[in-house]
Amino acid sequence: MTDSWPLLLIDWYRAHARVLPWRNPPGAALPDAADWPYRVWLSEVMLQQTTVEAVTPYFRAFTARWPNVAALAAADDAQVMQAWAGLGYYARARNLLACARAVVAQHGGRFPGTEAELRALPGIGDYTAAAVAAFGFGRDAVVIDGNIERLTTRLFGIVTPLPAARGAIRDALGAVLPVAQAGDFAQAMMDLARRVCTPRNPQCLLCPIAAACAARSAGNAEDFPVKPAKRARPTRQGTAWWIEVDKHVLTVQRPAKGLLGGMRALPSCDWKGLGAQPPLPGDWRLLGAVQHGFTHFELELRVQALWLPERSLLQPAIAGADWVPVAEIASAGLPTLFAKAAALGQTAIRGELAA
């Protein structure tokens, strides 16, 4: 590892830095304005999960309308929400207001400068606290976002998978942090990661710190950051019930809470096994099973069918029941899992009728 790479990187940044309304020009002293940390904080909250291009007009509009944290804290909630519309993730806007009001109530309308104090404010996590400390106050804070994680694991050849690698990344960057230049260093890392050390096809030939890069010399940059091995998802089992009367099939509205909450579906059990009793006694036929993947598990849902001669035999009555013509069940707006089950029901019925 070439020891001087942080300074080479800062030199590159000074020559290539983008001009942004919340960014202090590289190498310049921080603005001596009380509202500067406010501008840094506002930009960082806006930039979470949103691009620089999308944020820029919002940032200009917000700072024109609410030029400091006290003005934002005194703003009407509805007006702030309206001004935020289009940036998405409204929880961030609510946290924005909560944080501005906490800064006024707890710190006299001036952002505190230490990471610990910043982290204690609503909506401020490790990354934003470090960013405001470094970019807003010139503190020697180690700023780490996803882009910096990728770049650092490549530079140092850190093979520990994320997120376990975060301690090693912090230690590696803390050890090389250029004194009194933490802000420029972090901005440089971010710019290099976005423009050169990209997730796919990093431009190592254009990289100002290629000589110091472990992944570059090993020729395996795209192997970093190492991802944790995927855990196999468990398989759960359950039963759905196809109840048909006079070419209409029974659907219900699922409980508001839980998976597929509030959606129309075939009646089904709680997917905790195959032991559930059908909603009414009768000559149930097993039609088969469908598979469906949820985020945390695979579901094998078997489908049982019952054909009744009239609806009054459905006792006890099922709350929220709605009868859908069998021929229209595919367009009834069922979620994918139940659309698969319904397709099985339709196919089986045709077989039954043809038999």
Helix (H, G, I), strand (E, B) or coil at 340: helix
The pair of three-digit structure tokens given for residue 278, joined into one six-digit string: 């059908």
- Give CA separation, 134 vs 7, 181, 197, 235, in Å: 17, 9, 22, 47
Of 47-55, 102-110, 161-169, 197-205: span binding ligand SF4 (CB under 6 A): 197-205
First CA to last CA distance, the chain? 76
Minimum distance of ligand SF4 from residue 217's CB (angstroms): 9
State which of residues 100, 131, 215, 349 lies at the interface with ligand SF4 (CB under 6 A): 215
300 forms beta bridges with 237, 291
Please report how close the Cβ of residue 201 comes to ligand SF4 at its closest, in angstroms: 10
Q: Is 267 in the site for ligand SF4 (CB under 6 A)?
A: no
CA nearest neighbour of 240 among 307, 172, 147, 305: 305
Residue 44 bears catalytic tag: yes
- Candidates 70, 129, 141, 221; binder of ligand SF4 (CB under 6 A) is 221
Residue 237 — φ and ψ, nearest 5°? Answer: -125, 155
204 contributes a contact to ligand SF4 by CB under 6 A: yes
Q: How far is the CB of 212 from ligand SF4 (least distance, A)?
A: 8
Chosen residue from 87, 155, 188, 289 binding ligand SF4 by CB under 6 A? 155
Select from 44-52, 140-148, 213-221, 241-249 the region that touches ligand SF4 (CB under 6 A): 213-221
- Binding span for ligand SF4 by CB under 6 A among 121-129, 200-208, 270-278, 302-310: 200-208
| Cis status, amide bond into 316, omega within 30 of 0 | yes
Least Cβ distance, residue 228 to ligand SF4 (angstroms) = 21
Among residues 44, 115, 149, 244, the one annotated as catalytic is 44
CA 213, distance to chain mean position in Å, is 30
Instruction: Confirm or reject binding of residue 210 to ligand SF4 (CB under 6 A).
Output: yes
Determine if 340 is a binding residue for ligand SF4 (CB under 6 A): no
Indicate the residue among 101 and 216 with the shorter CB distance to ligand SF4.
Answer: 216
* Cβ proximity of 210 and 204 under 8 Å: yes
Kindly state the smallest distance separating residue 205's Cβ from ligand SF4, in Å.
8
Q: Please give the size of the binding site for ligand SF4, defined by CB under 6 A.
A: 15
Give the binding range for ligand SF4 (CB under 6 A) out of 92-100, 178-186, 205-213, 313-321.
205-213
Structure token pair of residue 93: 């806007």
In this structure, what token pair is assigned to residue 238?
């359950």
Q: Name the minimum Å distance from CB 343 to ligand SF4.
A: 48
Continuous H helices in the chain = 5-16, 36-47, 52-65, 69-73, 77-84, 90-107, 115-119, 126-131, 137, 146-156, 166-176, 182-195, 214-218, 336-354
The answer to the question of residue 213 lying near ligand SF4 (CB under 6 A) is yes
Give the CA angle between residues 264, 271, 297 to the nearest 5°. 100
Three-state DSSP class for 317?
Answer: coil
Out of 6, 37, 112, 202, the residue judged to bind ligand SF4 by CB under 6 A: 202
Q: Which residues of the chain form contacts with ligand SF4 (CB under 6 A)?
A: 151, 154-155, 196-197, 202-204, 207, 209-210, 213, 215-216, 221
Catalytic residues: 44
